[in-house]
Amino acid sequence: MRLPLSLSSNHLFFLSPKFKPPFSITSSILPKMADSGNSSLIWFRKGLRIHDNPALEHAANGSDFVYPVFVIDPHYMEPDPDAFSPGSSRAGVNRIKFLLESLVDLDCNLKKIGSRLLVFKGEPGDVLTHCLKQWNIKKLCFEYDTDPYYQDLSARVEKYASQEGIEVFSPVSHTLFDPRAVIAKNGGKPPLTYQSFLKVAGQPTWASSPVSTGPSSIPPPGDIGDLQISNVPTMEELGYLDVGQHEFSPFKGGEFEALKRLKQSLDDKAWVAKFEKPKGNPSSFLKPATTVLSPYLKFGCISSRYFYQCIQEVYKSVKQHTSPPVSLLGQIPWNEDSELLAAWRDGRTGFINGVGCTILHGIVLHASLPVFIHWEKGRDVFERLLIDSDWSINNGNWLWLSCSSFFYEYHRIYSPISFGKKHDPNGDFIRHFLPVLKDMPKQYIYEPWTAPKSLQVKAKCIIGKDYPSPVVSHDSASKECKRKLAEAYALNRQSNGSVSEDDLGKLRRKLEEDQQTQKPAAKKQKQKLITD
C-alpha cells in the first residue's frame, strides 16, 4: 500500500520503494517539432489527477508525444442569464469554480512531470475529432464515464477514432466496480437494494493490488499546428463578472487538496473505525461530520480505489469498525406545484432546509422539503447546485429518498423543525447561512413565525417581510404525502408490480380530486400557522 508521506504546496510525495521525484519544466511553451513518432491523446473529463490514472499511464506508455486535453464545454460552463441562480444551464457557480480550481491543479501537476494541460473551448465531440485529425493521433485514452451525456460524447468520438484506425483505451477507474459488469452478473438487471448490490458485486478484483502513484514523467505534447490552446480560464474570463464571494464554497478543488483532506481524515483512525451514518452532526459546518471528499471523488481529483484501499488499511489497524451501508465505505403521482417547487429551490419555504448548501450531509435531505415535489424536479435542482453532483448518485439518492425505488419506508419523513432542534438546538447553522435570522431567540429559530411580533421587531426579522411565512403546514403536508405513497404502494402490490398507464391515470385523477377537496382546509391551516 502506497500512502502519502508528506504534502506540500509544490509536490505530492508517496511512500513507495520505486518513488522518483517528479522533474519540473520552467516554461509552459510547447515544443514545435515534427510529429514523426507515436502520438497519444489523453482526454480529461473527470479523473482530474495524476495518481491511479490508467488512461494517463496508457497514453504515456510507448508514446513519443502525449497531448493532455480538456475542453471547456459551453453546455456546462457558459453563463445562463435565465437560470434561477448564478451559473450555466446545468451547473451552479460553485461547481464551475471547483472544476476550474481542479484544472489549475492538474495543469500544475502535469508541468511537474514534463507536460501541461491543453485547454480548448467548444463542443467537445467536434474539438476532439479535429485534434485527432490534426495531430495524427495513434492512441486515444479517456476514463469511462457513466453519465449519459458523456456516454453519447464517448460513442461519437470513439466511432470516429475506430474509422480512422486509432486505438481507443477507456478504462473503468472512476468507480470501484464496472457498473456494466455488475448488471451482467445480476442477469441483465441492476440490483434494487444495497445488500443485493454488495452480494452481486463482491470484492473488487484489484482490492489487494497497490494503486499506481502515477508516472514520474510523461512525453511532452508535440506540434499543435494551427489549433488555438489556452490556459485554464478564470471565472471572470468565462463571463461570471458579478458573482460575489459569498456565493462561493470554502472548499477548493484539485488533487492536492483532495489528498490533504484524505490524510487529515484518515489520521484519526478511531473516527474512521466508528463512522456511522446517519449519526454525526449534520449541522456542523466549521468542522463537517464527514470527510467532505465527495466533490473530489466526483471530479476524480482523488481515486475512489485509492480512497477504498486507504480505509482498508485503517480497518486492519483497529479492533472493530462499522460496516456498509452505514460505514465510511457505504453510503408516484407527485405534486406538480411549480410555485412550491420554486419556493423550496430558492429557500423561501419559511422552513430551514439545506438546499442552499453546496455539499450536504445525506440526512439533511430527509429533513428538507422534497417530500412534496416530483423527485425528478428535486433531482434537477441538486444537479445544478451541488458541487459534488454526480449523475448516477444524484438519481439514485432521489429515487431512494422519495421511496420511488430501492427504499420503501415512505413513512420515514423527518421534520425540519424537530430535526434541527435535536442536532443544533442553538441554530448555529441557521445563523451562519441565514444571517437574517441571526438575532432570533433560539426557542423560535426553527419556527420564527411563532415568535411574538415584539421579538420579531427586536430581532430585525419580520416574518412575511424579511423572511417568508411557511408555504405549508409540515404536519398536514407530510401526512398527505404518506397517504399518496400508501395508495401508490397498494396499487403496486395489487398488480404485482405491473402497473398500467390506465391504472396510474385513475390513481392520479383520484388523488387530484382528493387534493381539490382538501385545499380549503389546507389553506385555512396555513393561515392559522401564520396568525397564531
In what side-by-side order are the strands of the sheet with 167-169? 118-121, 65-72, 39-43, 139-141, 167-169
**Cα–Cα distances in Å, from 457 out to 400, 401, 466, 530?**
42, 38, 10, 16
Q: Mark residue 254 as left, alpha or beta (left: phi above 0; alpha: psi -120 to 50; beta: remaining).
A: left
Q: How far apart are CA 510 and CA 447, in angstroms?
A: 33
Distance in angstroms (rounded) separating the CA atoms of residues 111 and 120: 18
Three-state secondary structure call for residue 467: strand
Compute CA distances 447 → 285, 417, 419, 478, 521, whole Å. 21, 7, 12, 17, 21
Determine if residue 349 is labeled as part of a ligand binding site. Answer: no
388 in a labelled binding site: yes
Q: What nine digits make up the cell of 511?
A: 388523488
- 45 by DSSP, 3-state: which? coil
- 126 labeled part of a ligand binding site: no
Binding site annotation covers 291?
Answer: yes
- Cell numbers standing for residue 461: 426579522
Terminal-residue alpha carbon distance, the chain? 62
Does 389 count as an annotated binding residue? Answer: yes
The Cα 241–Cα 56 span in angstroms is 34
The set of cell numbers assigned to 221 is: 505534447
Q: Output the known binding site for FAD.
A: 290-294, 388-390
Q: Output the known binding site.
A: 290-294, 388-390
